[in-house]
């Protein structure tokens, strides 16, 4: 009898060792770098300091998930299940509201996650999806889902300062970083125990700096108007009183130099460069000039943003418009 029990236990152990590990697909139906961006990663530093899996600062103290953002609050982008499983919990009634003040945060109470769902994947694994748009959650407890099943829309319910989905991964109740599951808090870079599928790994490639938008405007640009999608997006008009080029960026580091260059039909019109003295999770820079006469000259206008850190060019992006 003891021999039989031992054999059963041994077979069960071997089966567990051979079981397929959890594999996570991209939890948002978007094109990273164009319609969505990774804003923050789990914090791996056990102290009050911060460290993401690449030993960067794209996180904040105690952050337990991966934040994938969309451009602004008007963006309608689906959140999807990262893996198959059964829905354990869902919520759909929390209002969307960008966190601006301490009063906003206090009002959220114990609903920091806002609207979302928790999915049980078996084997002690579960994923939680937070901040979905109010009224968009399309699943309920007990529903069986597959990787890619629509859960709802990216929103900004709960403790959300920008529209995004926050994905937390747990194993037996313990938070795991899907970019490096091991508890090693000193190594840099993704580990061999990364949970993402190959396609998701490519989509979620770590980037030091990203530009959400480069645009033209007739005057001062307001960050809140950009966040809510109400900023001027029209093409350059000949009667604009001024011409401003702006760059809206995320995940900039200390020492990064962000420069803007505005060119018109007759050449360079204005330039501006600023070197950051600390990391910036989100940053808006703009520069411009007043209209030189009764109308802007016809021709090509080009706005270019360039971000460098020392000799390293992190990115360069341009926007071109033709004024006829």
For residue 306, give its domain range: 210-323
Q: How far is residue 220's CA from residue 217's CA, in Å, rounded to a whole number?
A: 7
Paired tokens of 238: 């000949």
- The mean pLDDT of 143-147, rounded to a whole number, is 98
Report angle CA 209, 215, 218 to the nearest 5 degrees.
Answer: 140
Q: Are 227 and 130 found together in one domain? A: no
Q: Can you give the C-alpha Rg of the chain in angstroms?
A: 23
Q: How far is residue 160's CA from residue 247's CA, in Å, rounded to a whole number?
A: 22
Q: How far is residue 186's CA from residue 40's CA, in Å, rounded to a whole number?
A: 18
Q: How far is residue 229's CA from residue 212's CA, in Å, rounded to a whole number?
A: 12
**Is the model's pLDDT at 131 over the cut of 60?**
yes
In a domain, 8, yes or no: no
Q: Are 189 and 305 found together in one domain? A: no
Q: Are 196 and 285 found together in one domain? A: no
Q: Are 220 and 292 found together in one domain? A: yes
From 147, 180, 203, give the residue that closes a domain.
203
**Is the model's pLDDT at 235 over the cut of 50?**
yes
pLDDT at residue 237, as a whole number: 95
Q: Are 197 and 221 found together in one domain? A: no
Q: Are 231 and 188 found together in one domain? A: no
Q: Are 150 and 226 found together in one domain? A: no
In a domain, 10, yes or no: no
In a domain, 1, yes or no: no
Residue 3 pLDDT level (bands cut at 50, 70, 90): very low
From 152, 168, 203, give the residue that closes a domain.
203
In a domain, 114, yes or no: yes
Q: How many domains does the chain have?
A: 2
* % pLDDT > 90, the chain: 87
- The mean pLDDT of 237-247, rounded to a whole number, is 96
Report angle CA 152, 38, 113 to the nearest 5 degrees.
Answer: 45
Q: How far is residue 271's CA from residue 248's CA, in Å, rounded to a whole number?
A: 16
Q: Are 90 and 120 found together in one domain? A: yes
From 188, 203, 218, give the residue that closes a domain.
203
Average pLDDT, the chain: 92
In a domain, 147, yes or no: yes
Contact 28, 46 (CB under 8 A): no
Q: Are 95 and 56 found together in one domain? A: yes
Q: Are 148 and 185 found together in one domain? A: yes
* % pLDDT > 70, the chain: 93
In a domain, 149, yes or no: yes
Q: Are 48 and 161 found together in one domain? A: yes
Supply the CATH number for residue 283's domain: 2.60.40.10
- The mean pLDDT of 84-111, rounded to a whole number, is 94
In a domain, 278, yes or no: yes
Q: Are 41 and 179 found together in one domain? A: yes
Q: Is residue 215 within a helix (H) or strand (E), and if so which, with residue range?
A: strand 210-217
Residue 231 pLDDT level (bands cut at 50, 70, 90): confident
Q: How far is residue 89's CA from residue 116's CA, in Å, rounded to a whole number?
A: 8
pLDDT at residue 20, as a whole number: 64
How many CA atoms lie within 13 Å of 52's alpha carbon, on the beta-carbon side?
A: 21
40 dihedral zone (left: phi>0; alpha: psi -120 to 50; beta): beta
**Is the model's pLDDT at 309 over the cut of 60?**
yes
Q: What share of the chain is helix, strand, coil (3-state, %, to 5)?
A: 10, 40, 50
* Beta strands 125-132; 144-145: pairing state: unpaired
For the chain, the distance separating the N- and C-terminal CA atoms, rounded to the nearest angstrom, is 90
131 burial type by CB count under 10 A (0-12 exposed, 13-18 middle, 19+ buried)? buried
Indicate the range of 50-54, 98-102, 105-109, 135-139 predicted with least confidence: 105-109
Contact 199, 157 (CB under 8 A): no
Supply the CATH number for residue 45's domain: 2.70.70.10
pLDDT at residue 192, as a whole number: 85
In a domain, 14, yes or no: no
Q: What is the pLDDT of residues 254-279, one digit of tens each?
A: 999 999 999 999 999 999 999 999 99
Q: How far is residue 178's CA from residue 27's CA, in Å, rounded to a whole number?
A: 12
Q: What is the pLDDT of residues 43-71, one digit of tens each?
A: 999 999 999 999 999 999 999 999 999 99
Residue 18 pLDDT level (bands cut at 50, 70, 90): very low
């Amino acid at each position: 009898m003891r021999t039989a029990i031992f054999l059963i236990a041994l077979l069960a152990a071997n089966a567990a060792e051979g079981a397929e590990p959890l594999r996570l697909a991209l939890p948002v139906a978007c094109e990273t770098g164009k319609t969505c961006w990774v804003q923050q990663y789990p914090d791996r530093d056990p102290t009050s300091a911060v460290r993401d899996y690449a030993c960067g600062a794209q996180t904040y103290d105690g952050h337990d998930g991966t934040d994938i953002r969309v451009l602004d609050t008007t963006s309608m982008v689906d959140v999807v299940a990262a893996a198959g499983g059964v829905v354990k919990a869902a919520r759909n009634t929390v209002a969307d509201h960008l966190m601006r003040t301490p009063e906003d945060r206090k009002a959220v109470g114990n609903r920091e996650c806002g609207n979302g769902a928790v999915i049980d994947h078996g084997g002690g694994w579960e994923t939680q999806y937070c901040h979905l748009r109010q009224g968009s959650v399309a699943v309920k407890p007990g529903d069986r889902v597959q990787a890619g099943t629509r859960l709802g829309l990216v929103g900004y319910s709960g403790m959300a300062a920008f529209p995004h989905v926050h994905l937390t991964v747990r194993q037996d109740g313990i938070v795991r970083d899907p970019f490096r599951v091991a508890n090693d808090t000193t190594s840099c870079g993704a580990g061999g125990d990364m949970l993402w599928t190959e396609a998701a790994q490519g989509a979620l490639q770590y980037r030091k700096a990203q530009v959400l938008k480069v645009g033209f405007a007739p005057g001062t640009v307001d960050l809140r108007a950009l966040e809510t999608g109400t900023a001027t997006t029209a093409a350059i008009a000949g009667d604009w009183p001024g011409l401003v080029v702006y760059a809206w960026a995320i995940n900039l580091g200390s020492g990064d130099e962000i420069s803007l260059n505005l060119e018109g039909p007759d050449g360079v019109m204005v330039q501006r460069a600023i070197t950051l003295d600390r990391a910036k999770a989100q940053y808006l820079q703009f520069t411009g000039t007043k209209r030189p006469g009764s109308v802007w000259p016809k021709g090509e206008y080009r706005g270019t943003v360039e971000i460098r850190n020392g000799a390293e060019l992190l990115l360069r992006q341009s926007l071109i418009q033709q004024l006829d």
